Amino acid sequence: MSLDAKGVDGLIYISEKEDISTSSLQKDIPIVCIDRKPSIDENIAIVKSDNFDGGFLATEELVSQVCKDIIIIKGRRKISTT
């Protein structure tokens, strides 16, 4: 069943994958990707975060709250959000 049959008017795509399957779409609907530039070359909006500055600001806040044993746990993948 296509997403169109479900009455979907648009997609917000949040995934670690760079590929988007549009096979379930019968018509053009707006797609917004969060923190990923998809590999397909279509008219897709992209919302990106500044993860480096975000991590810096979060660490500054922890330090200002007198946290001392601060660690980071991240995945092995080399994607922008990690």
What is the average pLDDT score of the chain? 77
pTM check: above 0.75: no
User: Residues 6 or more apart from 47 whose CB is under 8 A from it?
Assistant: 32, 33, 34, 35
Looking at residue 39, its pLDDT comes to 73
Domain ranges of the chain: 4-64
**68 has pLDDT over 80:** yes
Q: Nearest Cα to 46, choosing from 76, 25, 18, 70?
A: 18
Looking at residue 26, its pLDDT comes to 58
Looking at residue 61, its pLDDT comes to 94
